[in-house]
Amino acid sequence: MKVSVSLTPGDRLPVLLERIKRREKYARIRAVLYSLVPVALTVILLDYANSSVRKAQNEVAALKTEATTYTTQIDTLKKNTETYQTQSQSAQGNAENYKNQVTELQAQLTETQKALSEAVSLSRAQRTIDYANPKELASRFPGSEKLLLDILDLRQRRLKWKVGGQSPQEGFDSSSFAMYILKQTRASGIDLRPGESLSEASHSLYDKLTATTKPQTGDLVFYPAGYAMFYFADPQGPFVLGMTPVGITALKSDFAKPVGYRQVQWR
Amino acid sequence: MDMPAKMEFLKRALASQQLTLRLQTVLAAMLFLLGITMVILSFVNPGLIVAETLKTSQRLGGTVIVASGFIPIFFSRRDKIVALRSLLNSYQHQQVGGLSPDPKLDEYFDQYFAMVLGG
């Protein structure tokens, strides 16, 4: 039988065990230290992630603030746009008004030019009468003295020509002047309807008065372009007196072909 | 040297080594959980607002951490523990069974002794 002989001395076992324990202790320490490296790596990564997230949060906050600013600016711009749109519409309205005014002024200018050209032609047909002595002149036309004196009085006041004029202060056109004189001298058959203006009434004057073929002093002679002149006749020949674009003046009765004669009856 | 003393020695040596192995296992498990959590979190979107470059490094780092937990275990020489356990079991079997001492066992024991002293 083979006897087992151990080469290991028994007194060395504690030393051996101590060595084993020491080795294992170092192994455990190493394991812990090795584990610390990945843990540290994790901590670094998490810290980096955390700082990135914080940075992103700060950026988001800054962007939000910026967005708020832009929103405010957009609101302001919208309000400005609305204001400018309103102003633009108002300006367009004004432009329309100015356009209308210009059109109106052009029409007035055309009318004035027409009146001026008429005035030039009228000046050629003027009849000379003695305006300096109205009373002496009036005495030559018995029965129409007041009419003549009223007309000459207004002439001295230098009444202006104005189309559609309503009063001496404003001025008159030919027919409205005739209407005004007839009203002042209380001629019959020319009463105004309620609410009717002098200018409106003057347009129907031709129809209101009685027609005649042989005019007498104080009757009305109607010419083209709306002229309504008072008829007078003296030894030098017939003439008409009334408002023209050059003012109140006497013209030869044949300065234009009459449209018709109308008899005026005085009250 | 008597058999009980050897068995006692083997028990203590095994206990010490097993303690180390348990610690390594626990650390490996901890690192595995840590690493795998990092990897999973890198895929969560938009739960975590992290830059794309950071996500890539987070996945890489997580994988490294998972792997690093197993490295100490690979180098822990578990075969030694298994050998010692077998030797101890053999001695116990011999003692309990009342068998005659096996010179092979003492030889193995001496080899281990020499290895420890030499190593």
Give the separation between CA A240 and CA A122, rounded to whole angstroms. Answer: 12
Tell me how far CA of residue A103 lies from CA of A11, A100, A113, A220, B18, in angstroms.
Answer: 135, 5, 15, 35, 114
Contact flag A39-B34 (C-beta cutoff 8 Å): yes
CB contact under 8 A, A6 and B1: yes
Q: What is the rounded distance in angstroms from the CA atom of residue A230 to the CA atom of residue A218?
A: 6
CB of A195 within 8 Å of a chain B CB? The answer is no
How many residues comprise chain A? 267
Closest C-alpha to A244, from A114, A115, A107, A111? A115
**What does the pLDDT read at residue A177?**
92
Give the Cα separation of B28 and B70 in Å (integer). 6
Across the interface, do B65 and A42 touch by the CB < 8 Å criterion? yes
Q: In whole angstroms, what separates CA A208 from the centre of its chain?
A: 42
Tell me: pLDDT of B82 over 50: yes
Asked if the Cβ–Cβ distance from A10 to B5 is below 8 Å, we say yes
The CA distance from A83 to the nearest CA of chain B, in Å, is 44
| Domain boundaries defined on chain B | 3-118
Which residues in chain A have Cβ-Cβ distances shorter than 8 Å to B30?
Answer: 35
d(CA A242, CA B48): 102
Interface contact A10-B1, CB threshold 8 A: yes
Are the CB atoms for A242 and A229 separated by under 8 Å? yes
Tokens of B15: 């206990």
Copy the structure tokens of residue B96.
């309990």
Query: Is the pTM of the predicted complex or chain greater than 0.90?
Result: no
Q: Which residue has the tokens 């938009």?
A: B46
Least confident interval from A8-22, A250-264, B85-99, B101-115: A8-22
Please list every residue in chain A whose beta carbon sits closer than 8 Å to the beta carbon of residue B1.
Answer: 6, 8-10, 13
Is residue A56 classed as helix, strand or coil in its secondary structure? helix
How many Å lie between the alpha carbon of B29 and the closest alpha carbon of chain A? 11
CB-CB under 8 Å, A30 with B72:
yes
**pLDDT given at position A98:** 95
Q: Where are the alpha helices (DSSP H) in chain B?
A: 3-43, 52-74, 78-97, 103-118
Instruction: Write the DSSP symbol of residue A194.
Output: T
For chain A, give me the number of helices (H) and strands (E)? 6, 6
Q: What number of residues does chain B have?
A: 119
Residue with tokens 């523990």: B81
Residue with the larger pLDDT of the pair B57 and B8: B8
Q: How confident is the model at residue B119 (pLDDT cuts 50, 70, 90)?
A: low
Q: Where are the beta strands (DSSP E) in chain A?
A: 210-212, 220-222, 228-234, 237-244, 247-252, 260-263
Report the pLDDT value the prediction gives residue A33, as an integer from 0 to 100.
86
Rounded to a whole number, what is the distance in Å from the CA of A60 to chain B's nearest CA? Answer: 11
For residues A172 and A159, what is the distance between their CA atoms, to the nearest angstrom?
Answer: 8
B61:A45 CB<8 A: yes
**Token pair of B116 as six digits:** 């420890």
Structure confidence at residue A10 (pLDDT)? 62
Q: Is A39 on the interface with B (CB under 8 A)?
A: yes
Nearest to A49 by CA among B48, B32, B64, B44: B48
Separation CA A30–CA A36 (nearest Å) = 10
Comparing CB atoms, the residue among A12, A31, A53 nearest residue B72 is A31
Contact list, B35 vs chain A (CB under 8 Å):
38, 42
**What is the per-residue pLDDT for A111?**
82
Query: Which residue in chain A is spatially nearest to B65 when comparing CA positions?
Result: A38
Q: Does A10 touch chain B (CB under 8 A)?
A: yes
Q: Give the chain B residue whose CA is nearest to the CA of A32.
A: B27
Distance from CA of B11 to the nearest CA of A (A): 10
Across the interface, of A6, A30, A39, the residue whose CB is closest to B109 is A6
CB A198 within 8 A of CB A192: yes
Query: From residue B94, how far is each of B51, B90, B98, B102, B105 by CA, in Å?
Result: 65, 6, 6, 8, 10
Q: What is the pLDDT of residue A5?
A: 45
Which DSSP string do the residues of A11-44 spell out, in sequence order?
Answer: GGHHHHHHHHHHHHHHHHHHHHHHHHHHHHHHHH
Q: How confident is the model at residue B102 (pLDDT cuts 50, 70, 90)?
A: confident
Looking at the complex, does the CB of residue A33 fall below 8 Å from at least one CB of chain B? no
- Give the pLDDT band of residue B48 (cuts 50, 70, 90): low
Which of A1, A3, A5, A13 to mutate: most B Cβ within 10 Å? A13
Whether A179 and A262 have beta carbons less than 8 Å apart is answered as: no
What is the predicted pLDDT for the residue at A32?
Answer: 87
Q: What's the first-to-final CA gap in chain B, in angstroms? A: 22
Provide mean pLDDT across the span B10-30. 88
Strand partners, A230: A220, A241
CB A3 within 8 A of CB B104: no
Helix (H, G, I), strand (E, B) or coil at A231: strand
Q: Distance (Å, rounded) from C-alpha A163 to C-alpha A256?
A: 20
CB of A8 within 8 A of CB of B1? yes
* Other CB atoms within 10 Å distance of the CB of residue A257: 7
- As a whole number, mean pLDDT of residues B54-60 equals 81
Range B40-48 average pLDDT: 72
A67 contact B CB<8A: no
B16, B31, B110 ranked by CB distance to A6: nearest = B110
pLDDT in tens, chain A (267 residues): 344 444 556 677 788 888 888 888 998 898 888 888 878 877 887 787 788 778 988 999 999 999 999 999 999 999 999 999 999 999 999 999 999 999 999 999 998 888 778 767 777 888 888 888 888 888 888 888 888 888 989 998 898 888 888 889 989 989 899 989 888 877 777 777 777 777 777 778 888 888 999 999 889 999 888 889 999 988 888 999 999 888 899 998 888 889 899 988 876
Residue pair A250/A129 in contact (Cβ under 8 Å)? The answer is yes
